Amino acid sequence: MGISSPVALVTGAAKRIGAAIATRLHQSGFTVMIHYHHSEEAAIHLAEQFNDERANSACTVRADLRDHSTVQNIIHATVSRFGQLNVLVNNASIFSRDDADWLDMFACNVQAPYGLSRAAFSHLSQTTGSIINITDIHANMPLRDYAVYCQSKAALAMQTRALALEFAPKVRVNAIAPGAIAWPEGDNHLSTEIQAHILAKTLLQRHGDPHYIAQAVMYLVSNDFVTGQTLQVDGGRYLNGI
């Protein structure tokens, strides 16, 4: 059924940067579809929190973005549930130093955003909507031992510009390139020494917070004369190079 508030789909929205983006969109009056893969408990909790604040303003959808056949299902689930789509945020990502994960990284970091954007276009064009891809400063500045990841984010950055050209004037497509915002977890945890080196290279000399990315999303959502751009949110680290 149709609803009056704008609708956003955020992939990888259960935790970290994705949750911050979903929260900021919801606070700004959006109804939010929360995509997740493994983090079911966190996704359900976030949706419950949103619905407690505003009834029927959030829902969850589970999908493995490495499986290209799920892409149409995610868009269909969103539009079937909420009646429209105004914003797509391609946030979900795989970050790995293992070259054996090449196919998984390109499937999740490149192919899934492309498929979602294609599937969403007809719906977004009806609302003069926008797509926001979360890339990385390492799309342009290589990170040692993460060659495949860097390549995947570089591909997503080019995808942003290519689809902005193709989808105009009906749908805007932009990207955000985070710097030191949320340190990697698990097997990809960065040592204290590496973290210190990264912060030393950051002009503002501090670690960022996911809410800075959420703020950038809101800027790109609200400014309807911006398309094909990548907004660096990195505390100035890009100016200091590797």
Give 163-220 pLDDT, tens digit per residue: 999 999 999 999 999 998 877 666 656 678 877 888 888 899 888 999 999 999 999 9
* Burial profile 204-232: b = 16 or more Cβ within 10 angstroms, e = fewer: eeeebebebbbebbbebbeeeeebbebbb
Establish whether the linkage from the previous residue to 169 is cis, with ω within 30° of 0. yes
Structure confidence at residue 47 (pLDDT): 98
CATH label of the domain that carries residue 193: 3.40.50.720
Residue 156 has pLDDT above 90, yes or no: yes
- For 31-81, write each residue's pLDDT tens digit: 999 999 999 999 999 999 999 999 999 999 999 999 988 999 999 999 999
Kindly state whether residue 34 falls inside one of the protein's structural domains: yes
Q: Which of 36, 114, 146, 149 is catalytic?
A: 149
Q: Across residues 21-28, what is the average pLDDT?
A: 99
Task: State yes or no: is 219 an active-site residue.
Answer: no
The whole domain housing 176 covers 7-240
- pTM > 0.85: yes or no: yes
Q: How many CB atoms neighbour CB 31 within 10 A? A: 24
**What separation in angstroms does the CA of 94 have from each of 27, 146, 199?**
27, 11, 23
**Count of domains forming the chain:** 1
Beta bridge partners of 32: 8, 58
Structure confidence at residue 1 (pLDDT): 41
Concatenated DSSP letters of 185-214:
-GGGPPPHHHHHHHHHTSTT-S---HHHHH
Both tokens of 200, joined, read 């030393």
Kindly state whether residue 1 falls inside one of the protein's structural domains: no
Kindly state whether residue 165 falls inside one of the protein's structural domains: yes
C-beta of residue 193 within 8 angstroms of C-beta of residue 222: no
CA geometry: angle at 171 spanning 167 and 173, to 5°? Answer: 80
Both tokens of 194, joined, read 């590496």
Structure confidence at residue 2 (pLDDT): 46
- For 103-153, write each residue's pLDDT tens digit: 999 999 999 999 999 999 999 999 999 999 999 999 998 888 899 999 999
Both tokens of 62, joined, read 């589970």
Kindly state whether residue 211 falls inside one of the protein's structural domains: yes
Kindly state whether residue 2 falls inside one of the protein's structural domains: no
